[in-house]
Amino acid sequence: MTNGSPRRSAGNGETAHKHATITFRHTIPSEQFPAERDRYVLYFHYGCPWAQRALIVRALKGLDNIIGLVELDGKDPVKGWEFTGVRGPERDPYYGVKYLRDLYLRANPHYNGRITVPVLWDLKNETIVNNESSDIISFLYNAFDEFLPLEDRESNKPDGGFRPPHLIKEIDAFNNWVFDTVNNGVYRIGFATTQQVYDENIWKLFNALDRLEAYLGEPGHSPYLFGERITEPDVRLFTSLVRFDCAYYTIFKCNVKMIRHDYPNLHAWLRRLYWDESDRTKGGAFMKTTNFAVIKAGYSRAFGGQHAIVPAGPLPYILPL
């Protein structure tokens, strides 16, 4: 969930409907930003699907004790993401500031781009390493592996890990297509300002969902998108589909079909990830990073302001397996 418009570039060649200025695109490890324990902090909001990508990968990789986590639990209509003390801290625990924009300006006093989450912050250099979710998850996969048990390191996984080398070309093409049609597609629909724009994108979205439904029914694409193991595309698609019935269907007017009623394969895939609390998901990486109440309230307020009425349903927010 950004500041009320389709998302910027999401990496790997993806191009968003609108392109915002991005000045923080550093990587780890690098000379300026080596991999170190307790040096980096991930700032996030539970309502944002792009931030949830990073939360899920941090959890799946077991980086809880290596990379810090700070929740921004509110959004001021003028100053943007903020600390309110309702769920998270009243102020930033490291610098005492009230708004995420203060950290952006601390990193670069001349910054004039959008204030977005997630943000990966370097406590040593006191600056933003990166604020692009695709970049962040790309180096979280292996940048800190030296601090992990041998079995959790990407190079030691017999299946190739979250981005198996023999599938990278196929995975990147899949990610780009999903970004354009689904991840960013729902934003083009939700924030459409003309009937023509809405009509062009609503059918593009549901054609993509139809294709994904068929794809999951094909040999080799079950129980996860690329077979027996969770890979990066599962993370990227999950954050959109877990929001679909409870937010996009109603608030974004993506109301041609629902995941729970009209897409049995996608529905099973979504619930399989959400309800998994096994070692495969490090005890529930997908479930524990999903907060339906925050998601519904956040999207409602994006249109109706701080006092927006939040729809009650659907109930339950996600069905059991």
Q: Is beta strand 68-71 parallel, antiparallel or unpaired with respect to 40-44?
A: parallel
pTM reported for the whole predicted model: 0.93
What phi and psi, each to the nearest 5 degrees, are found at residue 70?
A: -135, 125
Q: What are the tokens at 31?
A: 């000379």
Count of beta carbons in the 10 Å neighbourhood of residue 109: 7
- State residue 9's pLDDT score: 42
Q: What are the boundaries of each domain within the chain?
A: 40-156, 169-280
115 labelled binding-site residue: yes
Say what angle helices 49-60 and 133-140 make with each other, to 10 degrees: 0
Give 176: exposed, middle or buried? Use CB within 10 Å, 0-12, 13-18, 19+.
Answer: middle
- State residue 186's pLDDT score: 98
Name which of 226, 216, 211 is nearest 161 in CA terms.
226
133 labelled binding-site residue: yes
235 labelled binding-site residue: no
| Angle ∠(83,24,80) on CA atoms, nearest 5 | 25
Multiple choice CATH, 169-280, 2.60.120.1440, 2.60.120.200, 3.40.50.150, 1.20.1050.10? 1.20.1050.10
- State residue 306's pLDDT score: 85
Beta bridge partners of 121: 41, 128
Name which of 153, 88, 163, 95 is nearest 128 in CA terms.
95
- State residue 6's pLDDT score: 63
- State residue 22's pLDDT score: 54
DSSP state of 82: E
Q: What are the tokens at 306?
A: 């701080």
Q: Which fold has domain 40-156?
A: Glutaredoxin (3.40.30)
Outline where DSSP puts E strands in 1-49: 40-44
Q: So which residues are the catalytic ones?
A: 48, 187
117 labelled binding-site residue: yes
Q: Which residue has the tokens 């999950």?
A: 238
154 labelled binding-site residue: no
81 labelled binding-site residue: yes
- State residue 23's pLDDT score: 78
**Backbone conformation region of residue 126, classed left if phi is above 0, alpha if psi is from -120 to 50, else beta:** left
pLDDT in tens, the chain (321 residues): 554 456 544 444 344 444 446 579 999 999 999 999 999 999 999 999 999 999 999 999 999 999 999 999 999 999 999 999 999 999 999 999 999 999 999 999 999 999 999 999 999 999 999 999 999 999 999 999 999 999 999 999 999 999 999 999 999 999 999 999 999 999 999 999 999 999 999 999 999 999 999 999 999 999 999 999 999 999 999 999 999 999 999 999 999 999 999 999 999 999 999 999 999 999 999 999 999 999 999 999 998 888 999 999 999 999 999
Nearby residues of 58 by Cβ (< 8 Å), 6 or more positions away: 42, 64, 67, 69, 140
Q: Which helix (H) or strand (E) holds 130?
A: strand 127-130
Q: What are the tokens at 84?
A: 């309110």
31 labelled binding-site residue: no
